[in-house]
Amino acid sequence: MLVTINGKKENLKDIITITEFLEERRIRKEVVVIELNDKIIDKSNFDTTYIKENDRIELLYYMGGGSPSFLYIAGSFWLGRKRISDLLIFK
């Protein structure tokens, strides 16, 4: 089954859940955000969300170092669930 993972085509053996996908790669779900077909998947849905043929998966990791930690997604920096540009007083 052909999917795109972080921009690269890869073959997966079968339709699997996001949890199974992460377990196969030894990635802890606590340290990654999954974007599936341009939608961020809530960690509570990892066990019930399946990766299928031609899906696009992005593995997004928090970048820490100092305080606070930011996440970079689709051209925007995020602090928690807030887009940094939305937090700015002067735009």
User: Which CATH number is 43's domain given?
Assistant: 3.10.20.30
Is the pTM higher than 0.85? The answer reads no
What are the pLDDT digits (tens) for 23-38?
998 988 888 899 999 8
Number of domains in the chain: 1
Look at residue 88 and tell me if it is in a domain. Answer: no
Where do the DSSP E strands lie in 1-91?
A: 2-5, 8-11, 16-17, 32-36, 39-41, 50-51, 56-61, 71-73, 76-79, 82-83
pLDDT at 65 over 60: no
Q: Are 40 and 34 in contact (CB under 8 A)?
A: yes
pLDDT at 76 over 80: no
The pLDDT > 70 percentage for the chain reads 67
